[in-house]
A and B are shown apart, each in its own frame.
Chain A
């Protein structure tokens, strides 16, 4: 009968956790310290490597994605290529589920700039589709955070590509 009971709960009992011991608590504390260290390191990196006075960050998101499936994106800053990304099926699915991809982070001088994003993928009826969108912006004291949005346009069943600036923290 003992074997049978074990069978009955076999799908839950592959690795039943033991009660927390001081060792496991200590382990969790160490892991927490690593997380804190990484967070502080990240903040210091932000402050030193990408200060707001020079920071440009570009994100990418998808709303629905019925009329366009993204294969790749290329980013040009003042007509110079700065970033490119090829998407896996898993990444595309993540975007469709609402995730925002941090696509690019860099430093630029104050003044006028131009950002061009080239989207390559499959458009309506699975046809090859390539679209570029340009955005001019002025870099001042605050960090510039831009979100490239791929939206569905129901009026003509075509995808829409938008550059949406974020308000700063």
Chain B
């Protein structure tokens, strides 16, 4: 049931994905969760969804569905309640999604047995604008209010067209109607069967190419999947037969049940009804065949056990005492064998056996008893979690290794690379400062190209030397000093003019040099900062290591808790199986006792009637065995 709920809840909220804003990061998370969901990984989908930066009513609805998929109906219910109570006004869910939430929550409340709450949430479903969920709403309403359900004047096939639940709704109405007007109920069922039989089933190739991904639970018109369609047909036939029986029209019921498909999912129910009318009609040969079928088809079942003794009873009623005695003897053996088989097969079950290796008796108990089934499902669910533990352990181990590596890297990083880079930074900074100094000196100097290299620099040096020598000549009052001075002045003027012509280019070169040096210095400083930052990550890594240690501890504790819970549930399961075993044995012993009494009674009858010699010997044989 929960899986069915989950499937319907999950299938529908994904529809409006494409209509939403594509740029939001939450939307991306939502769509990634959808990917995981379609890969049949609900846990991963939930994880992705919960990591989204923002949550809204739609993501929470999906989350609720995923919780149901993971077998956590309590969490799903909490979320659904939040969605229904918190989001109102502008934040409210679109009505379609709100209807889905209300219907699922009402159904969950019904499963819990809280009909009042289920009614409350069901009353809030509003399908006036969109009748997509009319079928679900009506069927759920029938279940909640059963047997006080609303009965229309006639079946509303047109309103329920395209609703997958239509046959169930109308047949439930017919069932209630049958209490007062069984004939009319039969008419309704007949009409329903006609509606249902107009279904045109798609051919294999059409199905293969056109509908590979159709949901199995959604109806397209009245085209149901073949199995469901057959089950529905059989179900309607069974109700009709039941109504004929209540009208004492055994012939009509017989006509239906005699031709009931033996491979139907409802064949056991049909056999039970059939045995009832055959008993009423005293059709002994047919009844014996039916009882034998029940014994064959329902091993370890009450029906088969009752059928075993009923064969003798029917023969006794038909006054076939010899056959009745043989049948009672057979039933006695049968009860003995059944007890022996139960003793053999009812040994304590292990977790590994639950999935595929349980004995036929254990399988029968697990599939017939809801509590046992849920217990076994819970145990298998826990096993699934425990199976995932080694993978988690591997992931933790990998993280531990990575963390160790990064911590070692940190420890080596600072002593090896940091001094080298610091030294290089200092050298570059010195060089930069020198260049700055030279530039400022040059800017202060008359000849701003003092710092230039090559030929102009050599010429300038020569000129300056000559000017120094001229000073000496002037001091010594040498002749022609003035001529030299004027020639040198001219030369300096020419050089000044020449330098000024090229000054722009030289200035640019200097600036480039300065920029390059500055760039190198910045890069180096940045690297140094990064390195220092990385060096500072040691503390963060240690925090992460602490988190990892906590996670490892948590994982171990959780594994223990899971294992302990699993063992508790297994003990409960085995205890209940043991109870069932005792009940079954007690039932078999009771039936065997009853059978022996019947056998004794037949023997007494035969003796009293002074039966023939062959009968007497048979009685004596039986008496000896008894």
Contact = CB atoms under 8 A, between A and B. Distances in A.
Interface in B165-216: 168, 171-172, 175, 212-213
Interface in B4-60: 14, 17-18, 25, 28, 31-32, 34-35, 37-39, 43, 46-47, 50-51, 53
A99 B34 contact: yes
A91 interface: yes
A61 B31 contact: yes
A164 to B, nearest CB: 9
B17 A98 contact: yes
A53 to B, nearest CB: 10
Contacts of A98: 14, 17-18, 31, 34
B31 A38 contact: no
Interface stretch (A16-24, A66-74, A126-134): A16-24
A42 B50 CA distance: 12
Contacts of B171: 8
Contacts of A16: 1, 111, 370
B424 interface: no
Contacts of A11: 168
B403 A35 contact: no
A166 B111 contact: no
B25 A166 contact: yes
Contacts of B17: 97-99
Nearest to A101: B35
B601 interface: no
Given A48-B399, A48-B402, A18 B374 contact: yes
A18 to B, nearest CB: 6
Contact of B34 (A40, A43, A97): A97
B392 A27 contact: no
Contacts, number: 179
Contacts of A97: 14, 17-18, 34, 38
Interface stretch (B328-336, B378-386, B426-434, B512-520): B378-386
Contacts of A41: 392, 395-396, 399, 551
A6 to B, nearest CB: 8
B312 interface: no
Contacts of B388: 34
A25 interface: yes
Contact of A27 (B31, B38, B378): B378
B373 A31 contact: no
Nearest to A102: B32
Contacts of A102: 32, 35
A7 B544 contact: no
A59 B32 CA distance: 9
A10 B235 contact: yes
A166 B23 CA distance: 8
Nearest to A149: B22
Interface residues of A, number: 60
Contacts of B111: 16-17
A47 interface: yes
Contacts of B399: 41, 44-45, 48-49
B72 A28 contact: yes
Interface stretch (B319-327, B554-562, B618-626): B554-562
A154 interface: no
A114 interface: no
A3 to B, nearest CB: 6
Contacts of B50: 35, 39
B112 A20 contact: yes
A19 B370 CA distance: 12
A90 interface: yes
A33 B53 CA distance: 21
A100 B569 contact: no
Contact of B269 (A7, A20, A99): A7
Nearest to B547: A44
A17 B112 contact: yes
A48 B565 contact: no
Given A44-B544, A102-B32, A18 B38 contact: no
A17 B544 contact: no
Contact of B143 (A9, A17, A19): A9
A51 to B, nearest CB: 10
B175 A99 contact: no
A45 B395 contact: yes
A167 interface: yes
B97 interface: no
B205 to A, nearest CB: 16
Interface in A92-129: 93-95, 97-102
Contacts of A82: none
A28 B565 CA distance: 11
B354 to A, nearest CB: 16
B287 interface: no
Contacts of A93: 38, 212-213
B266 interface: yes
Contacts of B28: 59, 100, 147, 166
Nearest to B25: A169
B568 interface: yes
A39 B551 contact: no
Contacts of A59: 28, 32
Nearest to A34: B385
B596 interface: no
B108 to A, nearest CB: 8
A140 to B, nearest CB: 12
Contact of B1 (A15, A166, A169): A15
Contacts of B450: none
Contacts of A26: 565
B254 interface: no
Interface in B249-274: 266, 269, 272-273
A93 B212 CA distance: 10
A106 to B, nearest CB: 15
Given A31-B385, A39-B50, A49-B402, A25 B74 contact: yes
5 contacts: A3-B269, A9-B172, A12-B143, A30-B385, A94-B38
- Ordered nearest first, which 6 A-B pairs have the shortest CB separation? A98-B17, A94-B38, A99-B35, A100-B31, A99-B34, A17-B111
Interface of A: 3-5, 7-20, 23-28, 30-35, 37-45, 47-49, 59, 61, 63, 89-91, 93-95, 97-102, 147, 166-167, 169
Given A12-B143, A20-B112, 5 more contacts: A7-B266, A30-B385, A34-B385, A100-B32, A101-B35
Interface of B: 1-2, 14, 17-18, 25, 28, 31-32, 34-35, 37-39, 43, 46-47, 50-51, 53, 70-75, 111-113, 143, 146, 168, 171-172, 175, 212-213, 235, 238-239, 242, 266, 269, 272-273, 370-371, 373-374, 378, 381-382, 385, 388, 392, 395-396, 398-399, 402-403, 406, 544, 547-548, 551, 554-555, 558, 561-562, 565, 568-569, 572
